[in-house]
């Protein structure tokens, strides 16, 4: 790889980082100024929808920024925000905005962990939880395994995203996986939120039941993969 290609890769990385951190700055500012409102957004999709609509024409920007912050500050639940996206913007637009916000947040997490290492992950996760994924450091199929467990609907994506930054997997590949792997969960949530907004309660209930069943199965698969591969590295 010649010097020009190296410089271009650095520029693309810097642009992605700048865009991600700009969104985070907007989101953090909004979260601080409207702390009580944001706290209520996390548990009340209907309130989130009304708040998003009240700040038009900047509602979409605010939503993307808050969603990006949610990915970084993992104690904030993401499901109500995804429901609110479908509720406020419709299934298609809501899914795209969700994906954009969560992608920016994921990119920021990966860059932060690559820069500051293990200690930043420990701000949000215990050593025990991180240690459970240690096999991703050693497995020759780490990229494939990470891709599989990340796309599972019930897998702990926040934990996986933070841990992925600690591995030596190519960061550009991780950015793609941490974006595309969120699509199934985002789409089901936003369709469900849109169904509630359209008062299609039967459809919403069916979606939530199917999602819950898939999540339960996925968690079992995730636990099995972790236990099996951790035995291999002991």
Tell me what the mean pLDDT of segment 99-112 comes to: 90
Asked which of 3-17, 92-106, 155-169, 213-227 is least confident by mean pLDDT, the reply is 3-17
pLDDT at 76: 65
Comparison of pLDDT for 30 and 167, the residue scoring more: 167
Cα(24)–Cα(148) distance, integer angstroms: 28
Residue 148: band (very low, low, confident or very high) from pLDDT cuts 50, 70, 90: very high
Residue 42 is predicted with a pLDDT of 53
Tokens 């609907």 correspond to: 153
Name the pTM for this structure: 0.76
- Per-residue model confidence as pLDDT tens digits over 40-79: 655 566 666 676 666 666 778 888 888 888 888 876 667 7
Report how far residue 125's alpha carbon sits from residue 44's, in angstroms, rounded to the nearest whole number. Answer: 26
Give pLDDT, residue 202. 87
Closest by alpha carbon to 163, among 115, 215, 105, 109? 109
Q: What is the mean pLDDT of the chain?
A: 80
Q: What sign results for the dihedral spanned by CA atoms 55, 86, 49, 35? A: negative
Q: Any idea what DSSP says for residue 77? A: -
Q: How far apart, in whole angstroms, are the C-alpha atoms of residue 91 and residue 212?
A: 19
81 within 8 A of 66, measured Cβ to Cβ: yes
Q: How many CB atoms lie within 10 A of CB 166?
A: 19
Query: Which two structure tokens, joined as six digits, stand for 1?
Result: 């790889």
Confidence label for 227 from pLDDT (cuts 50, 70 and 90) = confident
% of the chain at pLDDT higher than 70: 74
Residue-by-residue DSSP string for 213-233: HHHHHHHHHHHHHHHHHHHHH
Q: How far apart are CA 81 and CA 186, in angstroms?
A: 10
pLDDT given at position 34: 54
Packing angle between helix 59-72 and helix 79-89, nearest 10 degrees? 170
Interacting residues of 143 by C-beta distance below 8 A, sequence separation 6+: 169, 173
Name which of 218, 108, 92 is nearest 158 in CA terms: 108
Question: Range with the lowest mean pLDDT among 76-80, 94-98, 154-158?
Answer: 76-80
Q: Whole-angstrom Cα distance, residue 207 to residue 230?
A: 34
């Amino acid at each position: 790889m010649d010097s020009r290609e190296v410089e271009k890769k650095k520029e693309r990385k810097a642009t992605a980082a700048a865009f991600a951190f700009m969104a985070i700055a907007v989101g953090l500012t909004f979260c601080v100024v409207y702390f009580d409102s944001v706290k209520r957004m996390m548990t009340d999709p209907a309130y989130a929808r009304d708040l998003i609509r009240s700040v038009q024409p900047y509602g979409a920007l605010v939503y993307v920024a808050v969603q990006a912050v949610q990915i970084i500050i993992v104690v904030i639940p993401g499901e109500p925000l995804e429901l609110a996206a479908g509720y406020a913007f419709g299934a298609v637009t809501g899914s795209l905005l969700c994906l954009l916000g969560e992608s920016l947040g994921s990119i920021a997490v990966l860059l932060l962990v690559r820069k500051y290492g293990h200690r930043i992950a420990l701000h949000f996760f215990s050593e025990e939880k991180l240690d459970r994924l240690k096999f991703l450091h050693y497995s020759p199929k780490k990229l494939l395994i990470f891709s599989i467990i990340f796309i599972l609907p019930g897998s702990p994506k926040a934990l996986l995203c933070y841990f992925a930054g600690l591995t030596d997997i190519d960061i550009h590949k991780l950015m793609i996986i941490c974006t595309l792997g969120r699509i199934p969960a985002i789409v089901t949530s936003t369709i469900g939120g849109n169904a509630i907004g359209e008062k299609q309660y039967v459809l919403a209930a069916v979606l939530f039941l199917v999602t819950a069943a898939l999540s339960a199965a996925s968690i079992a698969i995730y636990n099995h993969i972790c236990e099996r591969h951790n035995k291999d590295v002991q």
